[in-house]
Amino acid sequence: MEEKFRTQIYLTKDQHNYLKEKAAKYKTSMAEVLRNIIDKEIEKEYEIDPDDPIFKLAKEGIHTGRKDGSINHDKYIYRHEFND
């Protein structure tokens, strides 16, 4: 079982009622409902955003004018040739 830390929070009446209703619906504690909500938010941070500009860059590519970039990328990026 993962270690848990005790904390105290203040909720609005609507927030409290929401947790209470969900806990009753799923036959669990309000604390468990709240932990599940927090876990879902944490998972969202690790989701891939398809609108991330890095995907546009990868799709369109970078044009440097060099025709051997896929072969000599170490030379161009690190200014050093690596020999196997």
In tens, the pLDDT along 31-69 reads: 999 999 999 999 988 888 778 777 776 677 677 777 887
pLDDT band of 30, cuts 50, 70, 90: very high
Closest CA to 1 of 25, 47, 45, 35: 35
Q: Per the domain annotation, does 68 fall within a domain?
A: yes
- What pLDDT is attached to residue 83? 67
Which has more confidence, 40 or 75?
40
Q: Per the domain annotation, does 61 fall within a domain?
A: yes
Q: Which domain holds residue 68?
A: 13-78
Q: Per the domain annotation, does 2 fall within a domain?
A: no
Q: DSSP 3-state helix, strand, coil percentages of the chain (rounded to 5)?
A: 50, 0, 50
Please give the tally of structural domains in the chain: 1
Q: Per the domain annotation, does 83 fall within a domain?
A: no
Q: Per the domain annotation, does 42 fall within a domain?
A: yes
Q: Taking the model in full, what pTM does it have?
A: 0.56
Q: Per the domain annotation, does 5 fall within a domain?
A: no
Q: What is the mean pLDDT of residues 78-83?
A: 69
